[in-house]
Structure 1
């Protein structure tokens, strides 16, 4: 399944495990609350979805990369205590509290979250001495003699063996006690996340053209090469910062994030085009319906890449309008909900920002209809639909032109199916 389907499955699991009967007991007994085991390639977004689930369900999240731990920190240190058996006092080895378990208690004290998820990453890459402890933990939810606190759920993650030479195979006894979820890279699913995380539009444009370069891990005569979703997102943050500082982007800089020289070179060429077209096309004039005839003439002979970049430049600009309108509307709502007098200029601000965003959207749709083609309109409407800012705005400010094209173009779209899955 893709990363968003996995997210939904884990969120549903958490809800089911926390469900209580009339006496306050879990409807699924703790013994039957299998830990979730996510298996998928590195950089696909396993950690990210855990953070999203924690925020959306308002529960705690404590994360550990288990390969950073020793047996002592995971299990605790041995101590000798006195026990009486059959009237005879004997020395017995016990353990101090695991650093991981104590970390959960400290987190609960600090945040007030009494329920949550313990996320253990790289579960199948631990050392040989720690592996038995990990298997015990997945099977009976204890480290040494320290049990996981009540109302805390285990989610573990690992990489398949083809991505990591240190991977240790999990035995059938362990696998029969977990809920195994296999995740595959999926560009359409990632784009929903990327659009709303404001991943640089040059990256989104590029991957629309070169989808095969979204995720790859392989070896050739020159060694290991890889490009991951994490690499694209981290590169995006650097692009924004370097642009603000006026620092040139080079192939070597891109290669630090995308460890495939051909992909790094190819993306740099595309990025340079993106920056060039962002200056060539006067986006504000398009939004205000003041487009020169020369623009339409240029688009008539433009390559696909140029049209795609222009669409993403328009989407990026519109997103700012939607965000501003949404923030103004939310500010007004809070003022009204407070029950106190508020500045009436807020209502005017909401009206102006909403009207401007709607007008800019109408003018953009008209421009694409007149100057581009139906394929370009499909890309525009699809990406608009994936934007959280756009979705909130259009929910509160229905747009006839958008709805007309959405109904017409998105019926059989794979991205639409993903959206429906997310909005169940």
Structure 2
């Protein structure tokens, strides 16, 4: 299965293993909960999906790369304890708590999660001294003499033998006690991830053309030549910084991340082409409608004469520009949703407030409550980047209402009208933003249609927008006549091609 399917399977496993009976006991007793063993190529995103699963399931996460640990840190250190047996005292060896088990309890104490995932990476690459401990861990859910707390799901990950000389194969006894998930690379899944995480558009455009170079490992006389999903993503991060500092992009630099000379050289040539295309064409001006018709016509004529790879690069940057615009729109829409929820809560509170309560005091109390909740979560380390942004929007909206109330002269009995008027103003602005976004889409389709007509590139453009979850979600929710028309034309062409193939098959059959 691909990494997205593996993520869903792990989420389902977590949901099942943490389900409880009415008496609070787990429906599947911890002793019968098989650890998940995730086996897949390096750099495919195994660690990343653990973070996503923990966040989406709202549980804790403790992650370890076990090859970084000794037997002592995993099992604990020996200590001497006196015990009495048959009336005689003996010195008995015990062990301190494993560093890994201690980290689970620290997570429970610090973050308040009683349930979570203990993720052990590179489990099949441990040293000879640690190997028996890992088998005990998978079979008995213990490190040394200490057990994993109930409610914590064990997920272990490793690489297939062909990718790592240190891999140790598990015996049947161990494999019969785990839930085995084999993961394979899948560019289409990674592409969606790449769009969400702002992977450099030149990388996406290149891999759209050279999908076979997304994940490649070859044995050579000097070792291995390879590129991985992790390599492309890490290259993207540094590429943005190199561009910001206007540093030269060389094949030597690319080889630091793409350790396959043919791929590194191929991407360098395509990146330079993308850079030139981006400088020559005012794509953002085209989307925003600020380019003049005469200049636009020149851009279209020039594009018609350029090479295919260059046209693909332009399509990618055009769809990336749309993605950025919709991402900005979505953020504004999310802000309006937050304001709506706060307005709704305030209106409900106003219906129940006492005669002596003043609106300004109600707002002050709510602002202080939000500040306190923000600080508590921040101190506990539970505040995500997204939650921080949402809390800031809540406080900003409450402060805005407070200032609007002061400016209105604080007339009694107008609180509800003030809240509704302020929110309706925000909603009207967002409605205008939606119309602007629809116009941007229409301009993009107009440009692609005039430049490429019914050619392959137009179909690729529609396909790119359809593959982008953010863009597709906006279109499905708000509509786009140009997208629907283009999609219908492509479907008609595909059906016509199918009919021609069927006619040809029939003709061949009759001629026999």
| Residue 52 of structure 2: aligned partner | 52
- Does structure 1 residue 223 correspond to structure 2 residue 217? no
Shift of 1:383: 2.8
| Residue 306 of structure 2: aligned partner | 302
Shift of 1:385: 3.1
Shift of 1:85: 3.0
| Residue 356 of structure 2: aligned partner | none
* RMSD of equivalent CA atoms: 2.0
| Residue 29 of structure 1: aligned partner | 29
Q: 1:334 aligns with which of 309, 333, 338?
A: 338
- Does structure 1 residue 323 correspond to structure 2 residue 327? yes
CA contact (8 A) 1:124 1:167 kept: yes
| Residue 132 of structure 1: aligned partner | 132
Q: Unaligned 5+ residue runs, structure 2?
A: 347-418, 495-512
Question: Where does 1:141-180 land on structure 2 (aligned, <5 Å)?
Answer: 141-180=141-180
Shift of 1:391: 4.1
Matches of 2:469 and 2:321, distance apart in 1: 14
Which protein has the larger Cα radius of gyration, Structure 1 or Structure 2? 2
Report SS of the residue matched to 1:383: helix
- Does structure 1 residue 382 correspond to structure 2 residue 463? yes
Q: 1:346 aligns with which of 414, 426, 440?
A: 426
TM-score normalised by structure 2 residue count: 0.77
More helix, by proportion: 2
- Does structure 1 residue 101 correspond to structure 2 residue 101? yes
Q: 1:400 aligns with which of 476, 481, 484?
A: 481
CA contact (8 A) 2:30 2:151 kept: no
Shift of 1:112: 1.6
Per-residue CA deviation, residues 253-295 of structure 1 (Å, 9 max, x unaligned), is 1100000111111101000000100011111343228463233
Per-residue CA deviation, residues 379-420 of structure 1 (Å, 9 max, x unaligned), is 323332333432443354232333454567589x9xxxxxxx
| Residue 258 of structure 1: aligned partner | 258
Report SS of the residue matched to 1:47: helix
CA contact (8 A) 2:340 2:423 kept: no
Per-residue CA deviation, residues 175-200 of structure 1 (Å, 9 max, x unaligned), is 11111111111111111111111100
- Does structure 1 residue 236 correspond to structure 2 residue 236? yes
Shift of 1:343: 5.8
Q: 2:448 aligns with which of 351, 368, 371?
A: 368
Q: CA separation of 1:102/1:403 partners in 2, compared to 1, >3 Å: closer, same or farther?
A: farther
CA contact (8 A) 2:66 2:126 kept: yes
Shift of 1:100: 0.3
Moved more, 21-30 or 175-184: 21-30
CA contact (8 A) 1:37 1:179 kept: yes
Shift of 1:11: 0.8
In the alignment of these two chains, the number of paired residues is 412
Report SS of the residue matched to 1:62: strand
| Residue 194 of structure 1: aligned partner | 194
Shift of 1:361: 0.6
Q: CA separation of 1:322/1:273 partners in 2, compared to 1, >3 Å: closer, same or farther?
A: same
Matches of 1:41 and 1:17, distance apart in 2: 27
TM-score normalised by structure 1 residue count: 0.92
| Residue 42 of structure 2: aligned partner | 42
Shift of 1:10: 0.7
Report SS of the residue matched to 1:338: helix
Q: CA separation of 1:150/1:408 partners in 2, compared to 1, >3 Å: closer, same or farther?
A: farther
Per-residue CA deviation, residues 195-223 of structure 1 (Å, 9 max, x unaligned), is 11110000000001111111111221243
Per-residue CA deviation, residues 58-103 of structure 1 (Å, 9 max, x unaligned), is 1111110000000000000111222233443332211100000001
- Which of structures 1 and 2 has the larger relative contact order (alpha carbons within 8 angstroms, sep 6+)? 1
- Does structure 1 residue 311 correspond to structure 2 residue 322? no
Q: CA separation of 1:403/1:119 partners in 2, compared to 1, >3 Å: closer, same or farther?
A: farther
